[in-house]
Structure formats: structure tokens, C-alpha cells
Amino acid sequence: MEQLGRGKDQFPGKPLSRDAIYATIIADKAAPADLRAYALYRAVMCYAPSGYNGCSGPATDYAAMQAQQVPKAQRKAWYDELKARYPASRWAKSLRYYW
């Protein structure tokens, strides 16, 4: 695969996406509350305001872009968890919508 300047990519493996990082933190029930609240906030914000995942990296085609999407019900669940479990966090206070 060629990258910027037509040079070869020097990093082996699959790129790490932000949404994967957020999902790992959300799944870790032992993570500090503020970190989980921030991960929930960022996971929801990956879809703002277009409704498409902006945290999974570039898609090569429409099918790949569709595969990167998380169902709206899951996004609502993240939003609801943030508002219910961490209502005093600055992340819950600042998030008014989910997409």
C-alpha cells in the first residue's frame, strides 16, 4: 500500500482506530469512572453530526464504510449509560444528543 509521497507504509499490521480504543475502555468495568465517561462521550461523538463513524479511519468503499457503523441502538445505549452512570461528569453535562 502506498502512502503520502508514494512511499511504502513502514508500519506493519492494521492501523489502530479511535473507536476501537473507546470500545476497549467502555468494556473495561474496572476503568476509572472519568475515563469510562470520556470514552462513552467520544464513542457517541464519533457519529456527530453526520451519523457516520468518523473514528474508524478512512473507508475504501461504501461497503467498508457501512461495516464500520455501529447500530443507532448501541449509540443510544452509550448515551444513556453516560447520562445514567456519570451524570455529574463534564462529559455527560456537555452531551445533548446522540446520532
Kindly report the average pLDDT of the chain as a whole number: 90
Under the banding of pLDDT at 50, 70 and 90, the label for residue 4 is: low
- Does residue 52 form part of some domain? yes
- Does residue 4 form part of some domain? no
- Does residue 48 form part of some domain? yes
Most confident stretch, 7-16, 47-56, 68-77: 68-77
CA 46 centroid distance within chain: 5
- Does residue 74 form part of some domain? yes
> What domain range is 63 assigned to?
15-86
Task: State percent of the chain over pLDDT 90.
Answer: 67
pLDDT of residue 35 exceeding 90, the answer is yes
- Does residue 91 form part of some domain? no
Cell of 88: 455529574
pLDDT of residue 2 exceeding 60, the answer is no
- Does residue 8 form part of some domain? no
- Does residue 95 form part of some domain? no
- Does residue 24 form part of some domain? yes
Q: pLDDT tens digit string along 68-86? A: 999 999 999 999 999 999 9
The DSSP secondary structure of the chain, one letter per residue, reads -B-GGGPBP-S-SPPPPHHHHHHHHHH-TTS-HHHHHHHHHHHHHTTTTTSS-SSS---SSHHHHHHT---HHHHHHHHHHHHHH-TTSHHHHH-----
Based on the structure, what is the number of domains in the chain?
1
